[in-house]
Amino acid sequence: MQYGGDYNPEQWPEEVWVEDAQRMREAGVTMVSLGIFSWSRIQPAEGEYDLEWLDRVIDLLHEGGIAVDLATATASPPPWMHETYPEILPVTAEGVTLGPGSRQHYAPSSPVYRRLAADLVRTLAERYVDHPGVVMWHVNNEYGCHLHEDHSPAAQDAFRAWLEKRYGTVEALNEAWGTAFWSQRYTAFAQVRTPAAAPYSHNPGQLLDFKRFTSDMLLECYLMEKEIILAAGATQPITTNFMGPFKPANYPEWAQHMDVVTDDAYPDPDEPESFRDAAFQRDLIRSMKPEVPWMLMEQVTGALNWRPTNAPKAPQQMAALSMQCIGRGADGILFFQWRQSRAGAEKFHAAMLPHAGTDTRIWREVRELGSQLASLPSLPVGTADARVALVMDWESWWAVESPDHPSNVLDYVAVLQRWYRALHRRHVMVDIVPPERVTASQYDLVLAPALYLLRPAGAAALTSYVADGGHLLAGPFTDVVDERDAFLDGGFLTRLGEALGVTIEDFGALAAPGAAGQATAPLTGPFGTVTGTLLAEEVVLRGAEPVAAFSGGRRDGDPALTEHSHGAGVGWYLATVPDEEGADAVAGWALERAGVAPVLSGLPVSIEVAQRASVVTVINHGDEPAVVRVVGRDLLTGENVTEVALDSFGYALVDTDA
């Protein structure tokens, strides 16, 4: 179990480093992420390295028993770089060059940036690869966080090369993008550009490929660094920190190249339900590499500084959210940052060691959490705790939020989170996986909302899932296009229709809340009457039976939820996106039909329950104290219990096998 944070010692004179190491020991810190933004200090000029100070910091930490997750420092290029090579700077869709003075001001596809980054990484890797204090490599930092796309000259060249590799011939590209429409037919790759500012909508195939390209360029940067570190002989795990559901990078694909998946998460204390969305993020991250415990690489101890208003965490909320990570598969809790900055853009961002010093609530909570984590035994890895899967797919996310759709207000992650919250309130464990990962042996219930783009392998996996005895709840706006964001012959639901027994004739967009027109669609079924939003599709039965019907509005009396037996399983199709209460009711009905039991039953919705093999974690996110019945050994007190009493933000980890 690791505990610590980002350490940026270059902000302080060396005597403070000695105090830092001492205080870290007091707080139970076991590991720090070092040097994430140190490039200008490490390399004051091209070809000139200053590493003695870094040697001294690493040695000091190592002597103090604090391990180092050594950063490659490539996330913020030093000022000499743009002075000599202005071509490394990224460009927005509107053609604005993003300048220095902040951070992440580099074009990921720039050959110059990559050459200079490679040189830095090689220098660091060769120097520290055998240092016993270096236990992990932290490549770059939050790839793409501030730079969601780049239209620089380097990006134009790289995009064309990427397309040529993907399509081989310009004819194949024309075919894939459907350029016969709007006179877009290309006769050479040289004519293709990134989808930058244009008079009207871009070609959707081009937009989708640009998203793939953007993710791939960032991934290429990561892989370049990883290969350099490995070539230097590294045996430590290599990672880069994710940001949960972050659209520009296809994380499930990236995770295959990571030894440990690490994540940064900043739930808003002002949002009463943000702990549920935080749980969604933990489960998403855990599901990317279930066999290896993940790590929380960054969170904040108190208030941060980058929202319009930045509420502090309530007393003990930091510990409660940390235990949420542990309960959902993490083996490390780290923060941004160790010591609060005295100057610079993040000086109001809370840290482990506050600016106000050690006689502070935050410092006391940091120490207490450190000692609790140190007291935990090593925890089992749970790879099969969830009997429910929520399908989330980055390519489908990119495509479904492309413009010019029946509803252009559909927010993919918001739809997924609505379903997730319904399951979370019912204390059910959920994996969040791409469609290809779905199997009937692992999941009793699979939810696939708005799975607009479906790859053949995903369609095959979902169809077999039903045939093999699973319960699939799909829809709406699912199985609409192929990987090119183009329709398939035969209408909609062309692949999943076999398992669902329906097809769709019209998507029936509903008005946005407050706008003119029908904004909601009531539907009535075995779960009562609930409210649909966004879409009220026109479903055509092709073997399925209606289970619920729209009960009002333009589809009054038409099927709203259908059921179809396929092989040993059941395919349900829901023709609308239920609102929060509706999702709750439908999820409850589907869980019962699929025979999925909660981890613990009969608890209020403010109590969170998570399962990690034999360890059950319970957390009270409510204001009132609560008593939870759970039998086993309380891992924080060492006592055998049949119930645990939880104050507000209280928690317990109970080994139910002990």
Active site (catalytic) residues: 142, 298
Question: Cβ of 297: how many Cβ atoms within 10 Å?
Answer: 31
> How far is it, in rounded angstroms, from Cα 51 to Cα 494?
60
* Residues 652/646, Cβ–Cβ less than 8 Å: yes
Q: How far is the CB of 36 from ligand GLA (least distance, A)?
A: 6
Residue 435, preceding peptide bond in cis (omega within 30° of 0): no
* Residues 173/192, Cβ–Cβ less than 8 Å: yes
Question: Cβ of 200: how many Cβ atoms within 10 Å?
Answer: 7
> How far is it, in rounded angstroms, from Cα 22 to Cα 2?
17
For residue 26, give the amino acid letter.
Answer: E
> How far is it, in rounded angstroms, from Cα 332 to Cα 294?
7
Helix (H, G, I), strand (E, B) or coil at 644: strand
Kind and range of the H or E run holding 650: none
Residue 579 token pair: 């609102």
* Residues 3/42, Cβ–Cβ less than 8 Å: no
Q: In this structure, are strands 520-525 and 545-550 parallel, antiparallel, or unpaired?
A: antiparallel
> How far is it, in rounded angstroms, from Cα 460 to Cα 435?
9
Helix (H, G, I), strand (E, B) or coil at 288: helix
Q: How far is the CB of 311 from ligand GLA (least distance, A)?
A: 14
- Tokens 């933000």 locate to 649
Bridge partner list, 544: none
Bridge partner list, 98: none
Bridge partner list, 241: 262
Helix (H, G, I), strand (E, B) or coil at 331: strand
> How far is it, in rounded angstroms, from Cα 287 to Cα 144?
22
Neighbouring residues of 151: CB distance < 8 A, sequence distance ≥ 6: 90, 91, 92, 93, 95, 194, 196
Residue 320 token pair: 């409660």
Residues that bind ligand GLA (CB under 6 A): 141-142, 264, 266, 298, 304, 336, 346, 349
Question: Cβ of 25: how many Cβ atoms within 10 Å?
Answer: 14
What's the residue count for the chain?
658
Of 529, 525, 582, 523, the residue nearest 552 (C-alpha): 523
Q: In this structure, are strands 388-391 and 651-655 parallel, antiparallel, or unpaired?
A: unpaired
Beta strand segments in 417-542, E: 430-433, 445-448, 471-474, 502-506, 520-525, 528-533, 538-541
- Compute CA 321 distance to the chain's CA centroid, rounded to the nearest angstrom: 16
Task: Please identify, using beta-carbon distances, which residue of 182 and 348 lies nearer to ligand GLA.
Answer: 348
